[in-house]
């Protein structure tokens, strides 16, 4: 059943606008909390470790929800699932805004995550159904605009609101936009795609939840605990064992919760692997510059957000452009150029010091962001274009799940590299090297070394992705290779 022929251009644009609004709101919400954490810690008298659950709790629920979206998309109509996601998100936002204690705030964030985890995979599948393969690049470019514009303004907006008003207002400004999107969706959203009414695999759901949840929790704990502890290595090993069992079980299921047959398609496997390395370096790298700007240079969260704003806006502005370029030239050379830019500019951050100017950081980060725009959505579009529509929901769920895991691993790995490198460097400093320096200057010097080493690791990840990109088959039209028969089984 091909829904493209049954949806007029006006209805198609209305559906896309509604869902892009929801994607923007849910992604914006994810970027607002970090800046507010110190204020929340003071109000509820909690420690930094407890405060981390604002992000960790959201990420865990979000990461657990994404693998289930393939089942949800095939079981419920677009309207039912999208309205459920946005109403749930709005309820969680209200709970967070009116939270009387920290437990209630965490509950609100987790309720938000239930809805937010559905929106992006659902949007991706709707685009695959609405647009012919030769126009998907442009449509996915618009998704990239929503995905990147929200993080572009999020930290700056959050910093300003927390500085001038109160952290609760971060929730209250989201509620009207979420409610508006729900109302518009009631009138404009149409059902897209074909439902297959699969049965819910309870055992698969439990295994997916424990496996992905443990893996994400283990890596998220790595920033605050030693790797050789139950909270890190224990959870990671538990997650890996359960996920191996989950994959084995799913490969033998007639109605798998998550269909791993998508990896029988070489294009999907390759582009997803490349995206894994890109996201590892990207998510981890996103934390390193704010650490340098705030901990070494002493800038406020608002100021550091303003420094990063031009680069984030560049990514958002270029996303629709790269979508059009993808439709014309395909993923290979677009991603290759983008990754070369990312690798070289990330490497430029390995020479930071106390005298590094803000202008240098802004210019390098903005150029780096232009490379990101040439990589992110083209890789995802190439991956999903290579699958038949019957596997679109599973491909979208798989791609987004792996991206979530990659971000968690990358963040943990690069923060660990930074910490271990800084500690090792500090032990090797001689008396002559620290003579005449204050304790703060010595601490900054040590931290800078750790940050530079972590950026070097991030640039190596980009180089690995760059090499893998050479193996993408050239396809000037933007259409990916014909799907192998086994990928459709």
Work out the average pLDDT over 482-487: 38
The residue among 102, 117, 97, 98 whose CA lies nearest residue 52 is: 102
- 454: its two tokens: 């972590």
Q: ∠474-478-482 over CA atoms, to 5°?
A: 70
Q: What is the pLDDT of residue 267?
A: 94
What confidence tier does 191 reach under pLDDT thresholds 50, 70, 90? confident
Work out the average pLDDT over 323-352: 93
Q: How far apart are CA 237 and CA 219, in angstroms?
A: 11
Residue 3, pLDDT above cutoff 60: no
Work out the average pLDDT over 50-60: 78
pLDDT digits (tens, 9 = 90+) for 447-472: 999 999 999 999 999 999 999 999 99
Q: What is the pLDDT of residue 98?
A: 96
Work out the average pLDDT over 77-102: 95
The residue among 239, 331, 280 whose CA lies nearest residue 459 is: 280
Average pLDDT over the chain, rounded to whole? Answer: 86
Work out the average pLDDT over 144-148: 78
- 387: its two tokens: 């699958």
Q: What is the pLDDT of residue 10?
A: 67
Cα 339 off chain centre by: 18
Q: How far apart are CA 285 and CA 457, in angstroms?
A: 10
**Of 6-15, 47-56, 114-123, 431-440, which one has max mean pLDDT?**
114-123
What confidence tier does 488 reach under pLDDT thresholds 50, 70, 90? very low
pLDDT digits (tens, 9 = 90+) for 219-234: 878 767 788 899 899 9
Residue 28, pLDDT above cutoff 50: yes
What confidence tier does 475 reach under pLDDT thresholds 50, 70, 90? low
Q: What share of the chain is helix, strand, coil (3-state, %, to 5)?
A: 80, 0, 20
Task: Return left, alpha or beta for 478; rule: phi > 0 is left, psi -120 to 50 is alpha, else beta.
Answer: left
Q: How far apart are CA 331 and CA 384, in angstroms?
A: 12
Give the fold, CATH level 3, of 1-195: Growth Hormone; Chain: A; (1.20.1250)
- 462: its two tokens: 């980009």
What confidence tier does 96 reach under pLDDT thresholds 50, 70, 90? very high
Work out the average pLDDT over 296-320: 83
Residue-level length of the chain: 489
Q: What is the pLDDT of residue 49?
A: 63
Distances (CA, A) of 145 to 20, 24, 47, 320, 438: 9, 9, 36, 7, 45
Work out the average pLDDT over 378-393: 91
Share of the chain above pLDDT 90, in %: 45
The residue among 197, 241, 248 whose CA lies nearest residue 215 is: 241
Residue 186, pLDDT above cutoff 50: yes
Contact 79, 182 (CB under 8 A): no
Work out the average pLDDT over 359-378: 91
Q: What is the pLDDT of residue 150?
A: 81
pLDDT digits (tens, 9 = 90+) for 272-286: 999 999 998 887 667
What confidence tier does 143 reach under pLDDT thresholds 50, 70, 90? confident
CATH number for the region 261-425+440-489 comes to 1.20.1250.20
Number of H helices, E strands in the chain: 18, 0
Q: What is the pLDDT of residue 48?
A: 65
225-231 long-range contacts (CB < 8 A, ≥24 apart) are: 227/416
Which residues lie below 8 Å from residue 355, measured CB to CB, with a gap of 6+?
A: none
Position with higher pLDDT, 40 vs 286: 40
- 116: its two tokens: 């937010």
Q: How far apart are CA 428 and CA 423, in angstroms?
A: 9
The residue among 37, 464, 23, 50 whose CA lies nearest residue 290 is: 37
Distances (CA, A) of 455 to 154, 261, 297, 317, 417: 23, 35, 17, 25, 9
Of 12-21, 25-34, 46-55, the range with the lowest mean pLDDT is 46-55
Q: ∠378-264-392 over CA atoms, to 5°?
A: 50
Q: What is the pLDDT of residue 437?
A: 81
**Helix (H) or strand (E) run with residue 90 in it:** helix 78-97
What is the CB neighbour count within 10 angstroms for residue 70?
Answer: 26
Q: What is the pLDDT of residue 294?
A: 80
Which residues lie below 8 Å from residue 206, measured CB to CB, with a gap of 6+?
A: none
The residue among 229, 227, 289 whose CA lies nearest residue 416 is: 227
Q: How far apart are CA 378 and CA 327, in angstroms?
A: 9
What confidence tier does 438 reach under pLDDT thresholds 50, 70, 90? confident
Q: What is the pLDDT of residue 123?
A: 92
Position with higher pLDDT, 184 vs 138: 184
């Amino acid at each position: 059943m091909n829904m493209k022929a049954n949806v007029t251009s006006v209805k198609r644009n209305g559906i896309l606008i509604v869902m892009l609004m929801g994607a923007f709101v849910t992604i914006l919400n994810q970027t607002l909390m970090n800046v507010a954490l110190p204020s929340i810690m003071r109000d509820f008298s909690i420690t930094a470790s407890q405060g981390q659950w604002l992000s960790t709790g959201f990420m865990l629920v979000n990461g657990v929800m994404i693998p289930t979206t393939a089942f949800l998309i095939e079981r419920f109509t677009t309207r039912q699932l999208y309205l459920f996601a946005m109403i749930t998100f709005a309820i969680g936002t209200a709970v967070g805004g009116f939270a009387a204690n920290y437990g209630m705030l965490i509950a609100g964030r987790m309720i938000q995550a239930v809805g937010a985890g559905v929106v992006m995979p659902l949007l991706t599948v709707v685009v695959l159904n609405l647009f012919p393969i030769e126009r998907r690049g442009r449509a996915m470019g618009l998704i990239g605009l929503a995905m990147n514009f929200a993080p572009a303004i999020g930290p700056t907006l959050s910093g300003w609101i927390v500085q001038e008003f109160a952290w609760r207002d971060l929730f209250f400004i989201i509620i009207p936009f979420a409610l508006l999107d729900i109302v518009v969706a009631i009138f404009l959203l149409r059902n897209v795609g074909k439902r297959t009414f699969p049965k819910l695999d309870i055992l698969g759901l439990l295994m997916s939840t424990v496996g992905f949840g443990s893996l994400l929790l283990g890596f998220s704990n790595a920033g605050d605990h030693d790797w050789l502890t139950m909270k890190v290595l224990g959870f990671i090993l538990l997650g890996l064992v359960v996920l191996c069992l989950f994959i084995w079980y799913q490969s033998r299921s007639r109605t798998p919760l998550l269909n791993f047959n998508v990896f029988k398609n070489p294009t999907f496997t390759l582009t997803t692997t490349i995206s894994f390395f890109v996201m590892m370096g990207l998510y981890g790298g996103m934390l390193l510059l704010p650490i340098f700007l705030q901990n070494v240079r002493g800038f406020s969260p608002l100021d550091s957000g303003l420094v990063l704003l031009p680069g984030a806006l560049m990514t958002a502005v270029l996303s629709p452009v790269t979508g059009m370029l993808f439709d014309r030239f395909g993923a290979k050379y677009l991603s290759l150029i983008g990754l070369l830019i990312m690798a070289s500019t990330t490497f430029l951050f390995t020479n930071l010091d106390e005298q590094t100017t803000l202008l240098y950081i802004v210019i390098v980060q903005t150029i780096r962001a232009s490379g990101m725009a040439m990589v992110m959505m083209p890789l995802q579009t190439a991956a999903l274009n290579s699958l038949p529509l019957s596997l679109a929901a599973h491909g979208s769920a798989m791609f987004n799940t792996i991206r979530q895991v990659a971000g968690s691993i990358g963040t943990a790995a690069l923060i660990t590299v930074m910490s271990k490198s800084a500690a090792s460097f500090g032990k090797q400093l001689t008396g002559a090297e620290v003579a005449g320096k204050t304790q703060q200057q010595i601490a900054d010097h040590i931290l800078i070394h750790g940050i530079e080493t972590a950026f070097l690791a991030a640039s190596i990840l980009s180089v690995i992705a760059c090499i893998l990109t050479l193996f993408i088959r050239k396809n000037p039209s933007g259409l990916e290779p014909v799907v192998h028969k086994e990928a459709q089984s």
